[in-house]
Amino acid sequence: MNPEILQEICVQKMPFGKYKGRVLADLPMYYLEWFQRQGMPPGKLGMQLSTVYEIKLNGLEELLKPLRK
């Protein structure tokens, strides 16, 4: 996994929708699951959301703690 992507998801904010303005890493799992079912947005945002989804799905949120400081 690219460490730059991990850093990005800890600062990048959701650009639209119900959680507009919330850091991607802080999005609730049910919202990420909805995107997973409906289809992730195209491009970089979709890749970032997929990464957050996989991290949360596998219980790896601890990977992000050092990057949030």
Determine contact, residues 5/47, Cβ cutoff 8 Å.
yes
User: Which residue carries 């990057």 as its tokens?
Assistant: 67
Give tens-digit pLDDT for 6-45: 999 999 999 999 999 999 999 999 999 999 999 999 999 9
**In this model, does residue 68 exceed pLDDT 90?**
no
Computed from CA positions of residues 51, 55, 61, 66, in that sequence, does the dihedral angle turn out positive or negative?
negative
Give the C-alpha separation, 54 to 52, whole Å: 6
Instruction: Specify the pTM.
Output: 0.91
- Please indicate whether residue 3 or residue 17 has the higher confidence score (pLDDT): 17
